[in-house]
């Protein structure tokens, strides 16, 4: 009997419950053709592919508890391999290819993988940059032609012998290692347990109301894996999932229409791209029942633009969380746009909604020191800004081989039991229980008069018609910390126009108690941002740049 905690068993269950229903569809375009084709698998076929992959991988030498890097683009092989590794009891290692060569090498040095499965480009990079060379014992290519052993080759060598029985293990046993993207710090390997995966599936089913038989336009590979586990078909558009801002909106629209998708997962950058394309071409997405956006806060403008393509009762759900704990809270676009925007424009931060079921959110006094026990933390009252901490089954217990990071980020609840994760974000809870984000803890500007918080300050200036976005950073004059605002214009401006905009921003700053402390204003051509979300600003780099600009004056 298969271990009920294993995430792969959700696929087996759905293969029995709805064997002929669509599980996966992959969109393809050959060359420069605009004509799409699709590769499809039913739940029964995907389960059989998973079993065959288990027998093949076992024959190749991969066994339970082995750590396996998986760098495969969304495809039938991606789904079969991922579920097979779970079913085998092996531990897949997932990394974001957009994090950069040096970060990737560090990830593999820390994780010490036993095997490496990837597309040809991943293997070339592995050889060139020495990824995992001290620990990797075998390599497997997912390609038609390769100098390495191929996945297709071992499938021919080791035929499918029927249902593969997963080994038994504890609910909190390590199921996977997911590395953070590094967009808000050094990438760290988050240990996922089977219990944590199952809690995430339950949250998507219960809090978002996802049901078997739905079809999801999935633009993020790991989210796409939840589809088959929920009995929902994952429709994969033809796009580079590591660079969603390069996606062709027409391809995505065609996939939605072709399969009458009911669910759409898109990060804020892609949401904006699709909204702009839809506004230009007058799209109506009549089949969509819900949109889930995560990864970074979407702007109200992009939400409103996308909302215009949906049926009146359909909402865009903004979901808050992190690799270490996801999802944590959510809020629908109707309430977000109707009830929270005025407070945001006045510097109240960004509302990220209500806690999902079985998740506890608390706010503690800001400190950069480790906190071992909850009784040692200062819990704050509603309306007080502090560090966001969260507890629940979707919250990870530790980082992989990062003891110091675990000590700095986890708090044992010695009062009611369990453990909290320190999100590294600042915010507060209002009197209705909604969570408001004020910015990253590491990005706060600490002045002699008190702290300034990025999201609370920047939104005031982002209202200016000539401003695309702003970034609050800290600079120094002598030994004194001061606040500076970096400005990205939405259209090219000459020197005189820039001076005029700065004067107007200074007037806006003077109207608020917190923003009037900002003393320096600098125009920047294009902010450094993360590749995936195109929204997480690298303020550390901007702070160095602003300091240099200040010293030129």
203 within domain boundaries:
no
**Are 16 and 139 found together in one domain?**
yes
CB 81 within 8 A of CB 104: no
Q: Quickly state the pLDDT bin for 31 (edges 50, 70, 90).
A: confident
Same domain, 9 and 150: yes
Distance CA 112, CA 417 (A): 32
Give whole-number Cα distances, 223 to 74, 213, 227, 234, 323, in Å.
11, 17, 7, 9, 12
In a domain, 362, yes or no: no
Considering the domain architecture, whether residues 215 and 289 belong to the same structural domain is answered as yes
Does a cis peptide bond (omega within 30 degrees of 0) precede residue 327?
yes
Query: Is 183 part of a structural domain of the chain?
Result: no
- CA 435, 455, 335: angle at the middle one, nearest 5? 45
Is residue 164 located within the same domain as residue 212?
no
Over range 288-304, report the average pLDDT: 91
Indicate the number of domains in the chain.
3
State both tokens at 518: 């900002």
Q: Are residues 459 and 526 in the same domain?
A: yes
Return d(Cα 195, Cα 93) in angstroms, integer. 17
For residues 160 and 268, membership in a common domain is answered with no
For residue range 430-467, what is the model confidence (pLDDT) as tens digits?
999 999 999 999 999 999 999 999 999 999 999 999 99
Q: What is the CATH number of the domain that holds 472?
A: 3.30.300.30
Same domain as 111, residue 8:
yes
More confident residue, 168 or 2: 168
Between residues 298 and 337, the one the model is more confident about: 337
Whether residues 213 and 153 share a domain: the answer is no
CATH code, 106: 3.40.50.980
- Clarify whether residues 226 and 137 are in a common domain: no
On whether both 213 and 162 belong to a single domain, the answer is: no
Best CA proximity match to 233, nearest among 453, 431, 429, 45: 45
Task: Tell me how crowded residue 130 is: count the other CB atoms within 10 A of its CB.
Answer: 12
Q: What is the pLDDT of residues 178-230, one digit of tens each?
A: 999 776 668 899 999 999 999 999 999 999 999 999 999 999 888 889 999 99
| Cross-strand partners of 40 | 25
Same domain, 235 and 88: no
Which residues, 6 or more positions from 168, have their beta carbon under 8 angstroms from its beta carbon?
A: 3
Q: In angstroms, how far is CA 271 from the centroid of its own chain?
A: 14
| Distance of alpha carbon 51 from alpha carbon 402, whole angstroms | 34
State the residue range of the domain holding 7.
1-28+36-169
Residue 531's pLDDT is 67
Domain closes at, from 169, 200, 219: 169
Whether 362 shows a pLDDT value over 80: the answer reads yes
User: How many Cα atoms sit within 13 Å of 456 on the Cβ side?
Assistant: 24
Tell the residue number behind the tokens 């499809």, with chain if given.
Answer: 40
Q: Which own/partner contact pairs does 139-146 have at CB distance under 8 Å and 24+ positions apart?
A: 139/115, 140/60, 140/115, 140/116, 141/117, 142/72, 142/75, 142/77, 142/81, 142/117, 142/118, 143/119, 146/120
Q: Under a CB-based contact definition with an 8 Å cutoff, are residues 521 and 500 in contact?
A: no
Q: Is residue 373 part of a domain?
A: no
């Amino acid at each position: 009997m298969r271990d009920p905690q294993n995430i792969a068993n959700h696929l087996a269950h759905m293969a029995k419950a709805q064997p002929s229903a669509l599980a996966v569809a992959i969109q393809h375009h050959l060359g420069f053709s605009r004509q799409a084709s699709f590769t499809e698998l039913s739940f029964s076929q995907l389960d059989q592919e998973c079993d065959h992959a288990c027998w093949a991988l076992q024959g190749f030498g991969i066994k339970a508890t082995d750590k396996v890097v998986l760098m495969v683009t969304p495809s039938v092989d991606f789904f079969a391999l991922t579920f097979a590794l779970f079913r085998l009891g092996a531990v897949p290692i997932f990394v974001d290819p957009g994090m950069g060569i040096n970060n990737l090498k560090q990830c593999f040095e820390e994780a010490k993988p036993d095997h490496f499965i990837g597309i040809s480009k991943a293997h070339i990079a592995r050889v060139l940059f020495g990824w995992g060379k001290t620990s990797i014992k075998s390599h497997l290519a997912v390609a038609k032609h390769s100098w390495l052993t191929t996945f297709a080759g071992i499938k021919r060598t080791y035929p499918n012998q029927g249902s593969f029985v997963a080994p038994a293990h504890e609910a909190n046993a390590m199921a996977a290692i997911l590395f953070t993207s590094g967009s808000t710090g050094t990438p760290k390997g988050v240990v996922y347990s089977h219990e944590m995966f199952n809690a995430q599936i339950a949250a998507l089913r219960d809090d978002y109301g996802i049901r078997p038989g739905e079809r999801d336009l999935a633009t993020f590979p790991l989210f796409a894996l939840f589809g088959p586990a929920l009995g929902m078909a994952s429709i994969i558009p033809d796009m580079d999932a590591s660079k969603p801002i390069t996606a062709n909106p027409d391809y995505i629209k065609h996939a939605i229409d072709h399969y009458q998708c009911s669910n759409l997962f898109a990060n804020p950058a892609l949401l904006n791209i699709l909204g702009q394309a839809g506004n230009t071409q007058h799209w109506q997405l009549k089949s969509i029942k819900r949109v889930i956006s995560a990864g970074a806060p979407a702007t109200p403008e992009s939400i409103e633009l996308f909302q215009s393509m949906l049926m009146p009762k359909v909402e865009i759900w903004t979901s808050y969380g992190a690799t270490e704990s996801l999802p944590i809270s959510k809020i629908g676009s109707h309430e977000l746009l109707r009830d929270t925007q005025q407070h945001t424009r006045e510097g109240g931060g960004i509302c990220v909604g209500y806690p999902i079921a079985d998740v506890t959110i608390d706010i503690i006094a800001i400190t950069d020191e480790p906190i071992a026990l909850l009784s040692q933390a200062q819990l704050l009252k509603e309306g007080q800004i502090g560090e966001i901490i969260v507890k629940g089954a979707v919250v990870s217990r530790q980082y992989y081989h990062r003891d110091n990071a675990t000590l700095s980020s986890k708090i044992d609840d010695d009062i009611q039991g369990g453990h909290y994760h320190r999100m590294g974000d600042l915010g507060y809870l209002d009197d209705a229980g909604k969570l408001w984000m004020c910015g990253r803890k590491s990005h706060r500007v600490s002045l002699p008069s008190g702290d300034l918080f990025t999201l609370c300050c920047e939104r005031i200036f982002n209202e200016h018609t000539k401003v695309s976005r702003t970034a609050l950073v800290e600079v120094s004059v002598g030994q004194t910390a001061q606040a500076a605002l970096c400005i990205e214009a939405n259209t090219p401006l000459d020197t005189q126009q820039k001076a005029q905009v700065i004067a107007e921003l200074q007037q806006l700053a003077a109207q608020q108690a917190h923003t009037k402390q900002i003393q320096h204003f600098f125009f920047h051509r294009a902010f450094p941002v993360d590749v995936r979300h195109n929204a997480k600003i690298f303020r550390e780099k901007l702070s160095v740049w602003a300091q240099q600009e200040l010293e030129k004056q």
